[in-house]
Structure 1
Amino acid sequence: MSFDIEKHEIVGFVGLNGAGKTTTIKMLSEILTPTSGQITTNGYIPYKSRNKLSMYIAVSLLHNPKIRVSEVFNYIMY
């Protein structure tokens, strides 16, 4: 997987159970170390830069299937 997120961009991970969404977020936010490949977040290697990324990443887990993703993004924007 490879992607870039631009400054002020909001990104959502949507997919089936077991697709790797939570694992990806955990690697981006310093919780897990990748078993292969490399990962950088805002120029830092997350698992080597504990606590430096907390000002750049926010995670919101959506567990209510009645709430649409677009509603969450509208809430975040205001």
Structure 2
Amino acid sequence: MSKAFIGKPAPDFATKAVFDGDFVDVKLSDYKGKYVVLFFYPLDLGLVTTVLAESRRRLFDSSAATVFCGFPQEWW
């Protein structure tokens, strides 16, 4: 996997995601040509993630795709 550097394009990655209640395959390259906000958070944030998801349009430019990336505590 490529390394990420500040001020440079992010390296492509692929993962599973939940979209509209279904698991789907997602790649960063799916968003090519769009502004993307990658928001990383620990899975145990609970209600905070729900509030962020519901208010994302106010938090970020509505033309940007917002991708929330949760990870388990052992990966902190």
With structure 1 as the length reference, what TM-score do the two structures score? 0.29
- Considering fraction of residues, name the structure with more strand: 2
With structure 2 as the length reference, what TM-score do the two structures score? 0.29
With a CA cutoff of 8 Å and minimum separation of 6, indicate the structure with the bigger relative contact order: 2
